[in-house]
């Protein structure tokens, strides 16, 4: 079938934040060949190209997108067990949490702590999606992607993806180069869950799961995320967000000690209080961005009109209804600047800004 190109399609309904103007051109690609055709269509007409997946990590400008939006919806899941492992090949347009649910039901370990994260499978390698001590990079074998400038289908092995903390080559040096169309994973069959995150371990203990199963972990993670409005739910107005808006900063321990002492001198930290920190090998320290935000005088629930921090989690910027992308970006810059001025830490955004500066 010929490529179906629509015009002036609103983009806000495709995003979890619910903001963004129209796409000048829009196409939905359900097959790998359609992705290649769309890339060629944009290239030959010199139209800027925006690749869209589940829309859970985008802040799109109110003016929309002046070129072609390529909405990747390639589906399909195949599995091949081999001893204590199972190989999965998954289309980029598969909903992530549905995949997590299916693997937990089958007793395949590797995704259970990543329950409740919105979006499609294709986004998971870009961000190196992670939560509660687990990262998707631990399970990725390879990424299948169309190189947009050539239409070439490439298979990029995990080691070549340059995964880091919420980072990859697709987010950095190769941003805009590829459209991910599939991901290959390797999970553990019948293996016990590996709970590494202290808060999750405590939550499981409180639920009476001394030796938690994969299902126990998933249920617990979903319950915790729902309490924080971090599960997309039409009935929860505080879930109209991109989840965590800022990345937890990682810095040398000496820098954290210096920031802690500065806060103490200025009366923002009690004499016996410590700045929370978590070791990140080989020699880094992670500081919770939510703690930095609240210590900067921005409490949970603070609002600027239709935009504000979630009352359940300081890391989530919420569209309370009717907010514009410009208002979201302005509030995000206010949060960043307050944290920088009060603590010295510069927060980086997790979502991608389209047509907006941060």
Tell me the C-alpha distance between 70 and 6, whole Å.
11
Convert 166-192 to b/e letters by CB count within 10 Å (16 or more is b). bbbbbbeebeeebbbbbbbbbbbeeee
168 is written with which tokens?
Answer: 């990859």
Cα–Cα dist 18/56, whole Å? 10
Are the C-beta atoms of 130 and 64 separated by less than 8 Å?
A: no
As a whole number of angstroms, the distance between CA 240 and CA 139 comes to 29
CB 333 within 8 A of CB 38: no
CA dihedral 151, 143, 233, 29 (to 10 degrees): 20
Q: In angstroms, rounded to a whole number, what is the distance separating the alpha carbons of residues 317 and 300? A: 10
> Quick check: bond before 83 cis, omega within 30?
no
Whose structure tokens read 């190109």?
A: 5
Q: Token pair of 73, please?
A: 């919806």
What is the distance between the alpha carbons of residues 352 and 358, in angstroms, rounded to a whole number? 10
Name the residues annotated as catalytic.
166, 244, 350
The first and second tokens of residue 320, run together, are 């309370």
> Any bridge partners for residue 95, and if so which?
120
Alpha-carbon distance 81 to 58, whole Å?
35
Instruction: Return the CA Rg of the chain.
Output: 21
């Amino acid at each position: 079938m010929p490529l179906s190109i629509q015009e002036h399609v609103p983009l806000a309904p495709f995003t979890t934040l619910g903001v963004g103007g129209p796409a000048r051109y829009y196409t939905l690609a359900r097959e790998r060949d359609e992705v290649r055709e769309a890339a060629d269509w944009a290239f030959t007409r010199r139209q800027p190209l925006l690749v869209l997946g589940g829309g859970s990590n985008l802040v799109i400008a109110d003016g929309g997108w002046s070129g072609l939006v390529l909405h990747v919806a390639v589906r399909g899941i195949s599995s091949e067990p081999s001893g204590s492992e199972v190989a999965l090949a998954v289309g980029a347009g598969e909903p992530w949490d549905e995949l997590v649910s299916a693997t937990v039901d089958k007793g395949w370990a590797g995704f259970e702590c990543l329950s409740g994260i919105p979006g499609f499978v294709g986004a998971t390698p870009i961000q190196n999606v992670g939560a509660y001590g687990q990262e998707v990079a631990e399970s990725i074998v390879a990424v299948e992607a169309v190189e947009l400038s050539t239409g070439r289908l490439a298979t990029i092995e995990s080691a070549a993806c340059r995964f880091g903390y919420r980072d990859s080559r697709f987010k950095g040096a190769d941003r805009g180069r590829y459209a991910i169309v599939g991901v290959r994973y390797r999970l553990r069959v019948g293996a016990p869950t590996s709970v590494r995150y202290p808060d999750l371990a405590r939550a499981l203990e409180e639920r009476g799961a001394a030796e938690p199963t994969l299902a126990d972990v998933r249920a617990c993670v979903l319950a915790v995320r729902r309490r924080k409005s971090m599960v997309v739910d039409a009935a929860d107005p505080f879930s109209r967000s991109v989840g965590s808006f800022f990345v937890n900063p990682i810095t040398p321990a000496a820098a954290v000690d210096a920031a802690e002492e500065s806060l103490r001198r200025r009366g923002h930290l009690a004499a016996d209080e410590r700045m929370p920190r978590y070791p990140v090998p080989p020699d880094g320290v992670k500081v919770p961005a939510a703690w930095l935000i609240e210590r900067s005088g921005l409490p949970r629930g603070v609002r600027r009109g239709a935009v504000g921090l979630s009352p359940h989690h300081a890391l989530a910027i919420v569209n309370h209804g009717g907010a514009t992308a410009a208002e979201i970006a302005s509030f995000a810059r206010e949060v960043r600047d307050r944290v920088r001025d009060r603590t010295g830490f510069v927060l980086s955004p997790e979502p991608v800004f389209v047509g907006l500066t941060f």
